[in-house]
Amino acid sequence: MTNQYIIAIDGGTQSTKVAIFDTVGTEVCSYTLQLRPIELGENGRAEHPDDDLWDSLKLACEEIFKKFHGDKKDIIGVGLGSIRCCRALVKENGDLASPVQSWMDLRLSKPYEHEDDNVKYVTTTTGYLTYRLTGETKDTRANYVGPWPIDPMTLEWFEDKEKFDKFTTPREMLFDLVDPASILGKITAKASAATGIPVGLKVVSTANDKAVEGLGAGLVNDGTVLVSLGTYITSMMVGEENNPSTKNYWSNPGATKGEWLYESSGIRRGMATVTWIKDILGSDIVNEAKKRGMSPEGYLNVLGADVPAGCNGLYTVLNWLACPDKLYQRGMMIGFNGTHKGQHMFRSILEGIAFTMKNYAQAMCDERGIELSNIVVSGGGSNGELFMQIFADVFGVPAHRNVVNGSASMGAAICVALALGVYKERNEAIEHMVKRRDTFMPIDENVNIYEKMNENVYKHITSYTDELLKKSQEIFQGKI
């Protein structure tokens, strides 16, 4: 069994990762390629430049096969995962008619309106890459989050013409929908020449990237919360029902048939804020890290570990990217005095992320009537020992991380294993493929101070600042 391999594609906002796993969940090799920065334009536009998603996938595949020392004949399939809440406008020949619209693009708040005759198909990132890889106009039904003419309960295109037509997207421009963990098609000769993936290899559907991450993190319906650290940070649980009328979380399709992912509110441009503070602190950090043979982020973790819990009263509110319906929002650091330095700002951002996600996750658990007793933290940020301990202390529960902490790639591999019959059902695949790395236990002293900070100060900051920020927005809109 272990001489069979799976290619897993994990497309994100900031990078494209390609990994090769064996069928018991060992990551044989991986390669991550950073994407070019999102291009921000007028009227809230946010686009992936040129054809960056496809170009990065080609290059990542080229590099991964340089690292893979097994036999390509032993590769059994490709799991295709990519970013949710994006829109790709595709020509008939497979090229993009215009750059992929990022989930940050305000155009994504409205359905597509057909105005460009060059556009043959309107689809998601997974649909676009499926078409590139297989030539098939199929897509996972579990990646249609947002203004698409899809029934939220059945996950089929609306059959009712009146409901469908409200979305202004012609049916002939939409792909056919398949369940997650289903075969989409096979690698074409053209795609093989571009990527190095063997011709005829089966390409398997996944879901929206957060649901794939939940599957790869080993989430089961036992009350465990996953905190996903990415450009968008959120917390998640899984279940078997779509709950359309909830207040503190929302349901979106899961990564296996019949599964639903429950997702709290989140932090837009969350981990990008960590990159921001690294850049703000400048070359001194980069140069010192280089001297020590460390990454800048690793060096900041060393510095931040010497700062006491609570950063001597420095709080960070993580609204670096406002919600479309609350454009007055701004990120804030409040509570500076003369003792604060760069490492305090860095740690305060980590604490702010943990505070925010604790409050969102707790609200979700309270509404579901479930006790928050354990968390799993995934994403590149979980590599930091400091960040993991902060999560354990702020949440006040054990914080786990898995051997493969970029769990979206693991989730894509699990989808392949299920689609091709390596395992019969979800929990069996998780049992064999997902392995825990370590656990951080909460430190009582830190739990105590974080709870006081959160309950007495952090939860209330925006109730005092929102009205001021609304006035500030009106000034720069010329309304005052």
Domains of the chain: 5-211 (3.30.420.40)
**Could you give the CA distance from residue 229 to residue 381 in angstroms, rounded to a whole number?**
6
Mean pLDDT of 370-388: 93
- pLDDT of 36-69, one tens digit each? 999 999 988 999 999 999 999 999 999 999 999 9
pLDDT over 90 at 240, yes or no: no
Specify the pLDDT at position 2: 53
- Over pLDDT 90: what percentage of the chain? 87
**Degrees, nearest 5: CA angle 147-148-149:** 125
Mean pLDDT of 231-242: 91
Asked if the model's pLDDT at residue 1 lies above 50, the reply is no
Map tokens 């441009």 to a residue. 269
The average pLDDT across 196-225 equals: 94
Residue 223 has pLDDT above 90, yes or no: no
Q: What pLDDT score does 375 carry? A: 96
**Tokens at residue 170, please?**
């012609």
Considering only CA atoms, which of 127, 132, 108 is closest in space to residue 176?
127
Average pLDDT over residues 266-273: 93
pLDDT attached to residue 407 = 87
Closest CA to 381 of 398, 399, 364, 396: 399
Strands 176-178 and 138-140, sheet pairing: parallel
Nearest to 451, CA basis, from 386, 371, 400, 393: 393
- What is the average pLDDT across 246-258? 94
pLDDT value at 113 more than 60:
yes
Residues 6+ apart with CB under 8 A from 80: 9, 126, 129, 130, 133, 184, 203, 204, 205, 206, 412
Strands 5-11 and 75-82: parallel
The per-residue pLDDT for range 282-323, each reduced to its tens digit, is 998 999 999 999 998 899 999 999 999 999 999 999 999 998
DSSP 445: H
Q: What pLDDT score does 183 carry?
A: 98
Position 244 confidence tier, pLDDT thresholds 50, 70, 90: confident
**Closest CA relative to residue 25, chosen from 325, 436, 460:** 436
- Contact (CB, 8 A) for 5 and 433: no
Residue 402, Cβ density class (10 Å: 0-12 exposed, 13-18 middle, ≥19 buried): buried
Q: Decide: helix, strand or coil at residue 475.
A: helix
| 185 touches 178 (CB < 8 A) | no
Q: Per residue in 321-359, pLDDT tens?
A: 998 889 999 999 999 999 999 999 999 999 999 999 999
Task: Indicate the average pLDDT of the chain.
Answer: 95
Distance in angstroms (rounded) separating the CA atoms of residues 187 and 90: 19
**3-state secondary structure labels for all residues of the chain:** CCCCEEEEEEECCCEEEEEEEECCCCEEEEEEEECCCCEECHHHCEECCCCHHHHHHHHHHHHHHHHCCCCHHHEEEEEEEECCCCEEEECCCCCECCCCECCCCHHHHCCCCCCCCCCCEEECHHHHHHHHHHCCCEEEHHHCCCCCCECCCCCCECCCHHHHHCCCCCHHHCCEEECCCCEEEECCHHHHHHHCCCCCCEEEEEEEHHHHHHHHCCCCCCCCEEEECCCEEEEEEEECCCCCCCCCEEEEECCCCCCEEEEECCEECCCHHHHHHHHHHCHHHHHHHHHCCCCHHHHHHHHHHCCCCCCCCCEEECCCCCCCCCCCCCCEEECCCCCCCHHHHHHHHHHHHHHHHHHHHHHHHHHHCCCCCCEEEECHHHHCHHHHHHHHHHHCCCEEEECCCCHHHHHHHHHHHHHCCCCCCHHHHHHHHCCEEEEECCCHHHHHHHHHHHHHCHHHHHHHHHHHHHHHHHHHCCCC
Q: Which residues pair with 75 in a beta bridge?
A: 5
Q: What is the pLDDT of residue 10?
A: 95
Q: In angstroms, rounded to a whole number, what is the distance separating the alpha carbons of residues 225 and 237?
A: 5
| pLDDT per position as a tens digit, 130-173 | 999 999 999 999 999 889 999 999 999 999 999 999 999 999 99
pTM of the model: 0.86
